[in-house]
Amino acid sequence: MVYISCFSAARIRNMRLGDLILALGVFGLVEGAARKCRNPPQRKEWRELHLAERKEYIDAVHCLANLDSISGFDGAVNRFDDFQATHSDQTPNIHWVGHFVLWHRYYIATYEKALREECGYKGAQPYWNWSLDASSDNSSTAIYETEVFDAEVGFGGNGDYMSATPEQNPLNLTGHTGGGCVKDGPFSSKYFQVNYPEPDCLRRDFIPWIMNTFAQQSIVDHVQSQPDYTTFARALENVPVFSQPNIHGSGHFGVGGVLGQLGNQAQSPADPLFYLHHGNVDRVFWEWQQKDLWTRLHQVGGPVAPMDYSGTNVTLDFTVNIGKLAPDATLEQLLNTRGDVLCYTY
Ligand SMILES: *[C@@H]1O[C@H](CO)[C@@H](O)[C@H](O)[C@H]1NC(C)=O
Ligand SMILES: *[C@@H]1O[C@H](CO)[C@@H](O)[C@H](O)[C@H]1NC(C)=O
Ligand SMILES: *[C@@H]1O[C@H](CO)[C@@H](O)[C@H](O)[C@H]1NC(C)=O
Ligand SMILES: *[C@@H]1O[C@H](CO)[C@@H](O)[C@H](O)[C@H]1NC(C)=O
């Protein structure tokens, strides 16, 4: 080793300046190529995973929940909590803004990276295509009877019914069916605990009519038919009233309802299903980008401040910050799932 490096140093000393620059240039190119995204993990629908792959994913989530927190948030005990606390901290700045979908893209990809790099998970972040299961019958519960909610091969089901006070239900949601602790599966109290902002069990509170109405493929089609990023982003989030469906609200309120964490804007990542729900939101975005990739790798818009639709808009060099989870990234970097910051595909 010593001999070789001395030899190389001597060689470099004897090179003419032009050769040296050429050599460094080639080295730089090779370095650049090595850093590129060569074998992107391919994200799949939960039910496309083999049972062994599903188990590996669930095990990795449990692993993350057993690693010590590094975020410094009061109440965050483990690495899983770090993600939830970061989302909670930034909640006022990341919804109904132009960077909503890209902030969440970065956040999910960073979670995927933590599962892979810190917990040895070999696969990609799965998603839940709720449109597969949405029924045209408003009151159908079929969407909850799939393998996504299965205790053995999924994320477990609903909590017991609990009534909610008006203070607990400021959005006046109707039709909730649960609210108690998740009773079965890998995230029931026996195997999983919520720590942030205070210790609790994971709660779910299914609302069938929201799930069935908001998760319809026809609404996904409407969102994906938008001509540019600004209109796409606005159609995706729509307005925060329940008389107007929005696909982003489907998983949140259809599963979290009134009393479950997934229905709480700040605390929603307490439910591991958050990452499959938002994985699907990201897939909807990714598919929309593929329809005109040339343009849609370089286009953003929408307000910097929530719902400020006539105010300042985000630009490609707008910076997204996810706290201690990962370094800052620009929106332009995050538009590309196979670039220098992100590396995955669908
Ligand atoms: C999701 O499900 C809907 C409804 O079946 C289907 O139209 C759509 O193609 C699915 N998307 C993916 C990526 O599987
Ligand atoms: C579904 O149920 C909700 C709540 O009962 C109701 O407000 C809504 O109008 C229903 N939608 C359809 C399409 O029937
Ligand atoms: C919920 O209902 C209360 C009481 O009727 C009302 O004051 C409040 O504005 C409603 N909230 C929403 C978001 O509709
Ligand atoms: C931001 O974008 C919206 C939608 O395209 C536009 O109406 C608005 O004028 C823009 N804001 C500014 C300050 O240019």
- Which among 285, 204, 298 has a CA at the least distance from the CA of 251? 204
- Which among 51, 46, 186, 53 has a CA at the least distance from the CA of 127? 46
Peptide linkage before 327 cis (omega within 30 of 0): no
The alpha carbon dihedral of 144, 148, 149, 151 has a sign of positive
The residue to mutate among 310, 312, 314, 318, having the most atoms of ligand 4 within 8 angstroms of its beta carbon, is 310
Report d(CA 250, CA 238) in Å as an integer.
12
Report d(CA 304, CA 29) in Å as an integer.
36
Ligand 4 and 231: CB distance under 6 A = no
Ligand 4 and 299: CB distance under 6 A = no
Ligand 2 and 75: CB distance under 6 A = no
Output the pLDDT for position 28.
42
C-alpha distance from residue 1 to each of 4, 5, 7, 8, 64 (Å): 5, 6, 10, 11, 39
Report d(CA 88, CA 234) in Å as an integer.
22
- 3-state DSSP assignment of residue 201: coil
Per the prediction, the chain carries an average pLDDT of 92
> Does 180 score more than 80 pLDDT?
yes
Ligand 4 and 233: CB distance under 6 A = no
Angle at 48 between CA 43 and CA 176, to 5 degrees: 90
pLDDT tens for residues 28-83? 443 444 458 999 999 999 999 999 999 999 999 999 999 999 999 999 999 999 99
Nearest ligand 2 atom to alpha carbon 212: 1
Ligand 2 and 66: CB distance under 6 A = no
Domain range annotation of the chain: 1-36, 43-335
Report d(CA 39, CA 224) in Å as an integer.
27
| Range in 21-25, 134-138, 240-244 the model is least confident about | 21-25
Q: How far is the CA of 131 from the centre of ligand 1 (A)?
A: 6
pLDDT tens for residues 85-139? 999 999 999 999 999 999 999 999 999 999 999 999 999 999 999 999 999 999 9
User: In the chain, helix, strand, coil percent, each to 5?
Assistant: 45, 5, 50
The packing angle between helices 100-119 and 51-64, to 10°, is 90
Q: Please, which pLDDT band fits residue 4 given cuts at 50, 70 and 90?
A: very low
C-alpha distance from residue 184 to each of 61, 154, 203, 269 (Å): 16, 10, 11, 19
Type of residue numbered 288: W
Ligand 4 and 310: CB distance under 6 A = yes
Query: Could you tell me if 260 and 187 are in contact, meaning their C-beta atoms sit under 8 angstroms apart?
Result: no
- Which among 279, 280, 251 has a CA at the least distance from the CA of 265? 251
Query: What is the four-CA torsion angle of 41, 47, 52, 58, rounded to 10 degrees?
Result: 80
Query: Could you tell me if 41 and 108 are in contact, meaning their C-beta atoms sit under 8 angstroms apart?
Result: no
Output the pLDDT for position 35.
58
Q: How far is the CA of 144 from the centre of ligand 2 (A)?
A: 18
Residue 78 has, within 13 A of its CA and on its CB side, a CA count of 17
Q: Which CATH architecture has domain 43-335?
A: Orthogonal Bundle (1.10)
The bound ligand whose nearest atom lies closest to the alpha carbon of 230 is 4
114 burial via Cβ count (<10 Å: 0-12, 13-18, 19+): buried
Helices (H), the chain: 2-14, 17-35, 51-64, 79-90, 100-119, 208-214, 217-224, 229-237, 247-255, 274-290, 293-296, 331-335
Output the pLDDT for position 11.
44
Nearest ligand 3 atom to alpha carbon 172: 1
| Range in 17-26, 191-200, 227-236 the model is least confident about | 17-26
For 255-296, the three-class secondary structure string (H helix, E strand, C coil) is: HCCCCCHHHCCCCHHHCCCHHHHHHHHHHHHHHHHHCCHHHH
pTM: 0.90
Across the strands, what pairs with 319?
330
Atom 4 of ligand 1, nearest CA residue:
132
Nearest ligand 4 atom to alpha carbon 313: 1
